Amino acid sequence: MDIIGTAAARVDGVAKVTGQAEYASDITVPGMLCGKILRSPHPHARILSIDTGAAEGIPGVRCVLTREDFRDRNPWFSGRIQDHPIVALERALFAGQPVAAVAADHEAAAEDALRAVAVEYEPLPAVVGIEEAVAGGAPRIHESAPGNICFSDRLEKGDVAAGFAEADTVVEDTFTFPMVYHYAMEPHVAIAKVDAEGVTVWSSCAHPFGVQLELAHIFDLPLSAVRVIIPYVGGAYGSKSGAKIEPLAVALAQKCGRPVRVAQNVSEAMMTVRRHSALCRVRTGARRDGTLVAKQAEVFLNTGAFAELGPVVTSRTLTRILGPYRIPHIRVESHCVYTNTVSAASFRSIGGPQTAWANESQMDILADRLGMDPLEFRLKNLLHRGEELKPGGKPLDADLREGLGQVTRRIGWDGPVAASGAGRGLAFGVTDPGAPLASTSTVHALSDGSVVLHIGTSEIGQGSRTVMSQIVAEELRVPLDQVRVRPPDTAYTPYDRSTGSSRSTTVMGKATQLAAADAREQILELAMEHFEAPREAVELADGEARAAGQSVSYGELIRRHFAMQGGEIVGCGYAHSGMATAPANPLFWEIGIGAVELDVDRDTGEVRLQRYIMAADVGKALNPLQCEGQDEGAAMMGIGHALMESIEYGDGQILNPNLVDYRVPGFENLPATFESILVENGDGPGPYGAKGMGEGGIIPVAPAVANAVFRCTGARVKDLPLTPEKIWRAMRNNDEGQA
């Protein structure tokens, strides 16, 4: 079979474009009530009282959930630090935090009930930005976090003071990165049912087994009593990693004794999760020949009112701010900061865009100071395959020069300014995805020759069902249309750690390959017995076993094995720590490289992207078209980060909680030339030498664009997004400074 490496059509494509694909919001459960959330209007306030009497008296209202329902049971969920209550307890910590929830027969009654709940607040001082949150005397958001620092981490190598003493040139800059909304097309949806069997949840989440574990912990249940079912998911990008609204839906269903659906709109989703905003102070030193000698950085991440995944993101920034460069002396400190804003969590390449924005911008600043071409400067300092990037971690497993060379050749790089006067910019994105090794797969070859794959990977739009079907078809030697992938259901699906960290194709793909190979071996044994032939005389192809000019279908072999009573062959595959070579942290390095050519309207500051070329080191592209789509989608998201996206706060409130005021890129923002290059060396730990991808492509866009803006205007902007106004003001200040 040669299905691997081909642009096989998506197995879910027809269902999705015809509207047949079922999402969580399409599901109806008998007796289901409508759940709605009452949110705090204050960024920080003490809750003095909650009166639900009037709301409970409204016809059709079945129950109202408040803090009183958690006086004698666990109210906490979320992440490494259990600081996030299902509803606000003594204080509301951000504008939009759930304070109460209602369940009613229909939406109108639920909305009436929200308006009838009387909450008395005592407003308290609030902090929104990083600098005000860590300033002396700032109001403390959590008593356990002095200075509003919920977690800190550091990385040190060599002697930084000695390194800077060696430097001929030192640059020091501060960069800021805003809060960004995920904008998954499907906002969060959860349906919960509680009965004698336990808890059943239908959810739009990406991590069914993670949500199962959290719900079991919150409601003091065995895992076997918690069932999480995931239909198709309309995008996630990290916004649906772990429990978000599921605990509240379960608590409502438990109190009402009826199934409850909670479906958020875009504004509510923006009040549920976002990307970490960041402040990065970076100091870098180099010799006059361009050799990097020292880097010192301090990173502050705004994690919002609750830690969520903040500590993990904080630790990831330590290596991601270094870039893929050889630096002998390093000191990086990173801090996770509480503020009175919506919580931040996972978002495509956690900590990557924020830190590369600072590092890759400063690499160009330093190159300019040294009078060097930014390409030449990077080539001089790039790590080689096998060199150490992360102290004590896996050596670099990619040829960075190969990818950079392909990108710069394609864009026609002969300097940072094109003959037309357009500016050019380069940037790297190198990430160490978590990719935890814990995935199980089962492949079921049925008595009619069809095949069913059970995996816990959620189809969130990334094409996992297609690529996993390709792996099964390749290993079992069956046509692709004979393979079916069942949606995750923790009651029946084998365990998978998560859908994220660029791990699905690599880790679950390996488990699926092993499961399919196991099933193939069992079918081969049946064929050898059927033909009374040795292994080398039997060929498997197109769903048949062949030997000595004869053939028999897989289905016939299976039926005969089970005495014509039906039956199935089950293959099992496990991807665990044994598949990694030490050191396994990270399992692989994910590489993204970007180069841009653009011009700027000097009257308005508007950026016009002419060309954007990107490259991803994928090891092996199992489905090249899907790989290109992943990388181009990531780059398009990066264009949004670079040019327009920012959640804006005023007086503790989100000022743009909708898709009119919060802008995302459209077709008009596409570069005229937009190309993706796949670097394939077959050197990944996944099936057929694959590595994960989909995150690296978002990282280099913003710094590459800013570097190109500088080259064609002389204006250096250090605060994202690069809006026309910011660029116009920077050009004006630059012109005035030269006058």
**Active-site amino acid positions:** 695
User: Which tokens belong to 97?
Assistant: 């935090």
717 vs 708: CA distance, rounded Å: 11
Tokens of 561: 């094995």
488 phi, psi to nearest 5 deg: -60, 135
Tokens of 136: 């002396």
Distance, in Å, from the CA atom of 661 to the CA atom of 649, rounded to the nearest integer, reads: 12
The DSSP result for 260-321, as a single string, is EEEE--HHHHHTT-BPPEEEEEEEEEE-TTS-EEEEEEEEEEEEETS-TTHHHHHHHHHHHT
Packing angle of the helix pair 352-370, 374-381 (nearest 10 deg): 110
3-state secondary structure 368-402: HHHCCCHHHHHHHHECCCCCCCCCCCCCCCCCHHH
Taking alpha carbons only, the member of 64, 57, 54 closest to residue 103 is 64
Q: 171: which 2 tokens?
A: 């640059």
The number of residues making up the chain comes to 739
Give backbone dihedrals phi and psi of 308, rounded to 5 degrees, phi first: 45, -125
Burial (CB count within 10 angstroms: exposed 0-12, middle 13-18, buried 19+), residue 532: exposed
Q: How many whole angstroms separate alpha carbon 390 and alpha carbon 213?
A: 31
Peptide bond into 586 cis (omega under 30): yes
Cα(679)–Cα(5) distance, integer angstroms: 13
Cα end-to-end span (Å), the chain: 69
Beta strands at 33-39 and 260-263: parallel, antiparallel or unpaired: parallel
H helices of 644-673, in order, are: none
Q: What are phi and psi of 228, to 5 degrees?
A: -120, 125
d(CA 304, CA 337): 7
Handedness of CA 378, 380, 382, 388 (dihedral sign): negative
